[in-house]
Amino acid sequence: MSVNGAGVNELIGQRFDRLTVIGVSGEKPKRPSCQRIICRCDCGADKVVRLDHLQSGNTRSCGCLRIEVFAQHLARRRAAFPALPGMKICRKCKQEKPVVDFKFFSGAHDGLSSWCRECHRVERWLREFGITPARYAEMAVNGCNICGSMTSGSGKEVFPIDHDRSCCPGDRSCGKCVRGVLCSPCNTSLGGFRDNPTLLYNAITYLEAWRERNAASRMDPNALA
């Protein structure tokens, strides 16, 4: 199936599990496969879905299917674990969260993992960078290591971890090449300059040269020439 131009409009009326295509978003996608498709779910809710997620079967409902499957799973769990709570305090972050935020773990008396999903996710992520939570906390105590921002700038609670890609080229690190934590804009900028100090120096010279020329031109309009 063609995914660009008129091709996407042919999708209208097609069903993908619980979702029926009712329109195509006017927003221009980065890639044709990322085209946003407007769907109506069998439950009546509308949802905007990425075309590739729809075609791969990754997204099959507005989210109601996942909730139903979880509820069925939970009912079976409750039968097996009468102690299963409605809310639970995560042993790691100490926050009280609903059962849905915990993985099932048959080895536990209440049938739930003692850490919430988010804490497990952060732990896994830190492991990919080869650092401990203590090392992360130490690096993040004063915020972004370049601009000092105390927020990540990505909407996430944690700061992006910056590492030297000449040591570990991918999105993981051996741990030794972790340089620090940066806010999202600083991290992106550093990548834009290919982590190259010469380019960064050139950028400073370039900006300062402009500032001087601009100041001079304010005093003498002919100086810009």
Binding to Zn ion in span 50-69, by CB under 5 A: 61-62, 64
Could you tell me which stretch among 1-9, 19-27, 39-47, 76-84 binds Zn ion (CB under 5 A)? 39-47
Q: Are 71 and 99 in contact (CB under 8 A)?
A: no
- Out of 37, 51, 144, 181, the only residue in the binding site for Zn ion (CB under 5 A) is 144
Beta carbon of residue 42, minimum distance to Zn ion (angstroms, whole number):
6
- Out of 174, 215, 216, 223, the only residue in the binding site for Zn ion (CB under 5 A) is 174
Show the tokens assigned to 33: 């496969």
The answer to whether 116 contacts Zn ion (rule: CB under 5 A) is yes
Kindly give, in sequence order, each residue whose CB lies less than 8 Å from that of residue 188, ignoring residues fewer than 6 positions away.
none
The answer to whether 147 contacts Zn ion (rule: CB under 5 A) is yes
Which residue, 194 or 213, has its beta carbon nearer to Zn ion? 194
Beta carbon of residue 221, minimum distance to Zn ion (angstroms, whole number):
37
Q: Are 62 and 18 in contact (CB under 8 A)?
A: yes
The answer to whether 41 contacts Zn ion (rule: CB under 5 A) is yes
Kindly give, in sequence order, each residue whose CB lies less than 8 Å from that of residue 221, ignoring residues fewer than 6 positions away.
none
Whole-angstrom distance, CA of residue 29 vs CA of residue 146: 32
Residue 28: which region, alpha, beta or left (left: phi > 0; alpha: psi -120 to 50)? beta
Whole-angstrom distance, CA of residue 193 vs CA of residue 187: 10
Which residue, 7 or 70, has its beta carbon nearer to Zn ion? 70
Q: Are 18 and 41 in contact (CB under 8 A)?
A: yes
Q: How many residues does this entry show for the chain? A: 225
Beta carbon of residue 155, minimum distance to Zn ion (angstroms, whole number):
15
Beta carbon of residue 85, minimum distance to Zn ion (angstroms, whole number):
15
Residues at the contact surface with Zn ion, assessed by CB under 5 A:
41, 43, 45, 61-62, 64, 90, 92-93, 116, 119, 144, 146-147, 149, 167-168, 173-174, 177, 183, 186
